[in-house]
């Protein structure tokens, strides 16, 4: 058995983990637990809540319930000049251009908040799999730049997870699709998620999956569609509000929740309505929205995604007609208008058989399996999404590694000095596509010292950019005449510095064991109560479905579980829960009925292992 490397999709709205089991790649969940976790963290009087529990608290703790924080990962002040008036929580810029979220005195970095979600997923995965989870393949939007990738890696490390590989979300989806459908040819992955949009064009060839081009926008997703609905609701039911800043965090959280419900309902209904309650404004009203109205609101955003698709095709030197399949990924790809416009653009029905919310985690798990040595039958060639380079005279951005270059990539160029007897040079490293560095993103800077004094232009400074398989950059420089050299990993100009990360990792390890046991104990006790309640509720008709022997065994184990509730050993509790799961499987299956089972089976369609 190869080492366990799970796949994690750290999404803007939802996160989850998958692994490769005996039967194939699947989401890590069982009858009682799941790693599918809303990406929500809430600071409450009763401590920090994560996932569904945190989401439930958003109107009770509107200022300290954090959602969509993935948007702030690896970002600085310059990047969040966007409109934050609809954010219920505070986002401020701390020292060194670092983003901090939350109320004064209890602020957290986006990396720390993401780490809470990852810690929760790790914990659940360990409970479900019954063993330690240490390594992961984690996914990021293809259009994430170096700083955003680094921030994701840091978050995983803070959560006690070693990142074996960072892979791009659309690429992960393509792996799952390619192996499941065993298709060849050019495909496009259209990934419209909660916060980001990516499109990748790939060539699937025998065992080789090659990304040809990728385009996207890390600020274009379901959240933006929600905001359009929220603004419409404000116009309709709060006409007196002239400035969004007047809205309280609680009102915003309530509007946000309503907009999500409306949006989801409109994927399957032509018209929907719900009651909106805004106690602070004394409003309790029924609000209706039709699919047509919704589509009018969001059409420009969907068209923006198609403009990216056009550019990705152009970069790949292909046309829409060359694409044999369009794989739809991400929750927003469920919207009928999105599917219609994508279909109209490519002239083919998009592929929607694979669950668009789970396919990324599944693909990451398959890649994890490959990287643990579990299989060697396919290979992934991915690319960097944005060009990398340095600032040269006049603020010109001089590209070294071009966008869509396959990784790992190494590029070496020789530069010289501009002043006589210059003994040091400073390199500023940027990422982007524009001509001047002021329009690109600064990744960091780097100094080469100790060059012997020479006339200007004489030193030969060889600069090497190396982009590893994770898409992360290392830069080294060497003066060829004197052999003076220097090397750095890019330290982002903002975000956490290395010391902060090391400290956070240390803290997380110190508390990890106690914390783990304590949290599991609470969770298992809770679960036992739920299970016992469930059994009691259907007990009167159990004999219709299972044999007297089974009934006896369940009753006996029910007693054991009741006694265990006071036990302090979480593993004993877990064993008892698992045993009850086995004992009641027939019962649960029969009661659930065939219709319900079929729906469940459809969703958890597994990918065969080869």
Partner 1 sequence: MIPSEELKEDKSDHHGHHHCASERCDKCDSELKHTIYCTACEKIQQYNKTMNYFSIFGVSPGYDIDKKEVTAAFERLIFALHPDMYVNGSKEDQALSLSHTALLYEAKETLFYPFKRGRYLLSLLMPGFDGMIPQPPQAFVLEMFEIQEELDLVQEGSGSLKQTEARINLLLQEIDEALSADFKAYIPNREDKMTAGKILSNLAKLKFLDNLGERIRMIGKNLRDNLN
Please list the active-site residues.
9, 70, 169, 191
Q: Which residue's CB is nearer to partner 1, number 147 or number 409?
A: 409
Torsions phi, psi of 264, nearest 5?
-65, -40
Q: Is the dihedral of CA 311, 314, 319, 325 positive or negative?
A: negative
For residues 360 and 329, is the Cβ–Cβ distance under 8 A? yes
The residues facing 50 across adjacent strands are: 41
Rg (CA), the chain: 26
**In the block, residue with structure tokens 């944005």:** 386
Residue 210 and residue 381 in contact, taking contact as beta carbons nearer than 8 Å: yes
Q: CA–CA separation, 510 vs 295, rounded Å? A: 50
Locate all alpha helices (DSSP H) within 159-205, ordered by sequence.
Answer: 169-181
Distance in Å, CB of 167 to partner 1, minimum = 11
Q: How far is the CB of 380 from partner 1 (least distance, A)?
A: 7
Phi first, then psi, for residue 331 (nearest 5°) are -60, -35
Task: Note whether 484 and 450 are within 8 A (CB).
Answer: yes
Give me the least distance between CB of 460 and partner 1, in Å please.
7
What is the smallest separation between the CB atom of 2 and partner 1, expressed in angstroms?
9
Q: How far is the CB of 336 from partner 1 (least distance, A)?
A: 21
Query: Could you tell me the sign of the dihedral formed by the alpha carbons of 73, 74, 76, 80, in that order?
Result: negative
Q: What are phi and psi of 568, to 5 degrees?
A: -95, -5
Please work out, in degrees rounded to the nearest 5, the angle formed at the alpha carbon of residue 209 by the alpha carbons of 331 and 151.
Answer: 55
Which residue number, 237 or 469, has a Cβ lying nearer to partner 1? Answer: 469
Question: Smaller CB distance to partner 1: residue 311 or 322?
Answer: 311
116 vs 391, which CB is nearer to partner 1?
391
For partner 1, give the closer residue by CB, 113 or 409.
Answer: 409
Query: Closest separation between CB of residue 122 and partner 1, Å?
Result: 22
Which has the closest alpha carbon to 428: 389, 477, 473? 389
CB contact burial 245-282 (16+ within 10 A = b; e otherwise): eebebbbbbbbbbbbbebbebbbeeeebeeebebeebe
Of 86 and 366, the one with the shorter C-beta distance to partner 1 is 366
The whole-angstrom separation of Cα 35 and Cα 121 is 5
Contact criterion met (CB below 8 Å) for 154 and 109: no
Residues that bind partner 1 (CB under 8 A): 205, 207-208, 303, 307, 310-311, 314, 370-373, 376, 379-381, 392-394, 396, 398, 405-406, 408-418, 425-427, 456-457, 460-462, 466, 468-469
Give the residue with the Cβ less far from partner 1, 219 or 310.
310
Question: Between residues 241 and 469, which has the closer beta carbon with respect to partner 1?
Answer: 469
Kindly state the smallest distance separating residue 536's Cβ from partner 1, in Å: 50
CA atoms within 13 A on the CB side of 433: 8
Q: Which is nearer to partner 1, 260 or 382 (CB)?
A: 382
* Contact between 405 and 236 (Cβ < 8 Å): no
The residue (of 332 and 367) whose beta carbon lies closer to partner 1 is 367
- 216 vs 220: CA distance, rounded Å: 8
Q: In the complex, what is the shortest distance from the CB of residue 416 to partner 1, in angstroms, rounded to a whole number?
A: 5
Minimum distance between the CB of residue 398 and partner 1, rounded to whole angstroms?
6
Task: Please list, in sequence order, all residues whose beta carbon lies within 8 angstroms of the beta carbon of residue 576, skipping any fewer than 6 positions away.
Answer: 528, 557, 560, 561, 564
Nearer to partner 1, 244 or 322 (CB): 322
Q: Closest Cα partner for 339 from 330, 331, 328?
A: 328
Residue 570 DSSP SS3: helix
Instruction: Supply the minimum distance, in Å, between the C-beta of residue 373 and partner 1.
Output: 5
Q: Are 305 and 220 in contact (CB under 8 A)?
A: yes
8 Å CB contact between 113 and 101: yes
* Rounded Cα gap, residues 382 and 85, in angstroms: 37
State the Cα–Cα distance between residues 142 and 360, nearest whole angstrom: 12
CB–CB of 202/171 below 8 Å?
A: yes
β 283-290/271-278 pair status: antiparallel
The residue among 187, 165, 163 whose CA lies nearest residue 176 is: 187
């Amino acid at each position: 058995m190869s080492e366990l490397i799970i796949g994690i999709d750290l999404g803007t709205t939802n996160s989850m983990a998958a692994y490769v089991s005996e039967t194939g790649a699947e989401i890590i969940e069982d009858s009682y637990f799941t790693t599918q976790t809303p990406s929500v963290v809430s600071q409450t009087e009763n401590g920090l809540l994560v996932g569904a529990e945190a989401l439930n608290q958003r109107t009770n703790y509107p200022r300290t319930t954090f959602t969509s924080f993935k948007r702030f990962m690896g970002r600085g002040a310059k990047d969040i000049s966007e409109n934050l008036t609809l954010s219920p929580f505070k986002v401020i810029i701390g020292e060194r251009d670092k983003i901090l979220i939350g109320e004064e005195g209890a602020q957290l970095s986006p990396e720390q908040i993401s780490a809470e979600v990852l810690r929760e997923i790790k914990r659940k995965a360990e409970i479900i799999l019954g063993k330690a989870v240490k390594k992961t393949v984690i996914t990021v939007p293809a259009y994430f730049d170096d700083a955003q990738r680094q921030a994701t890696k840091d978050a995983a490390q803070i959560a006690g997870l070693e990142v074996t590989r960072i892979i791009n979300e659309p690429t992960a989806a393509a792996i799952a699709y390619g192996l499941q459908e065993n298709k060849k040819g050019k495909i496009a992955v259209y990934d419209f998620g909660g916060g980001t949009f990516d499109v990748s064009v790939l060539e699937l060839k025998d065992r080789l999956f090659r990304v040809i081009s990728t385009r996207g926008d890390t600020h274009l997703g379901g959240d933006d569609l929600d905001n359009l609905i929220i603004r419409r609701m404000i116009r309709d039911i709060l006409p007196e509000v002239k400035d969004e800043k007047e809205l309280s965090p609680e009102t915003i959280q309530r509007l946000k929740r309503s907009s999500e419900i409306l949006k989801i309902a409109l994927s399957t209904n032509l018209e929907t309505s719900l009651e909106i309650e805004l106690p602070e404004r004394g409003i309790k009203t029924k609000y209706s929205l039709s699919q047509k109205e919704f589509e009018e609101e969001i059409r420009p955003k969907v068209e923006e995604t198609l403009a990216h698709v056009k550019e990705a095709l152009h970069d790949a030197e292909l046309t829409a007609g060359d694409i044999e399949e369009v794989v739809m990924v991400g929750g927003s790809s469920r919207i009928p208008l999105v599917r219609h416009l994508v279909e109209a653009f490519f002239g083919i029905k998009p592929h929607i058989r694979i669950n668009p919310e789970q396919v990324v985690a599944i693909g990451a798990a398959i890649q994890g399996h490959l990287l643990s040595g579990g299989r060697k039958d396919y290979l992934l060639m991915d690319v960097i999404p944005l060009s990398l380079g340095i600032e040269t005279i006049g603020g010109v951005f001089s590209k070294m590694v071009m966008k869509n270059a396959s990784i790992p990539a190494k590029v070496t160029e020789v530069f010289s000095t501009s002043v006589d007897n210059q003994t040091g040079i400073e390199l500023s490293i940027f990422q982007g596509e524009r001509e001047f560095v002021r329009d690109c993103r600064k990744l960091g800077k780097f100094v080469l010292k100790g060059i012997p004094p020479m006339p200007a232009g004489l030193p030969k400074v060889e600069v090497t950019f190396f982009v590893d398989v994770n898409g992360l950059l290392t830069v080294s420089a060497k003066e060829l005449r004197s052999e003076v050299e220097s090397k750095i990993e890019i330290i982002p100009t903002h975000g956490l510095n290395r010391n902060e990360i090391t400290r956070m990792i240390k803290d997380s390890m110190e508390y990890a064991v106690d914390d783990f046991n304590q949290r599991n104990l609470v969770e298992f006790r809770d679960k036992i109560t739920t299970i016992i309640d469930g059994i009691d509720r259907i007990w009167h008709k159990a004999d219709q479905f299972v044999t007297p022997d089974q009934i006896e065994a369940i009753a006996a184990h029910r007693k054991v579980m009741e006694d265990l509730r006071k036990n302090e050993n979480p593993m004993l509790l877990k064993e008892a829960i698992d045993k009850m799961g086995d004992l009641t499987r027939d019962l649960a299956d029969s009661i659930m009925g065939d219709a319900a089972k079929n729906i469940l089976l459809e969703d958890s369609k597994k990918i065969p292992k080869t």
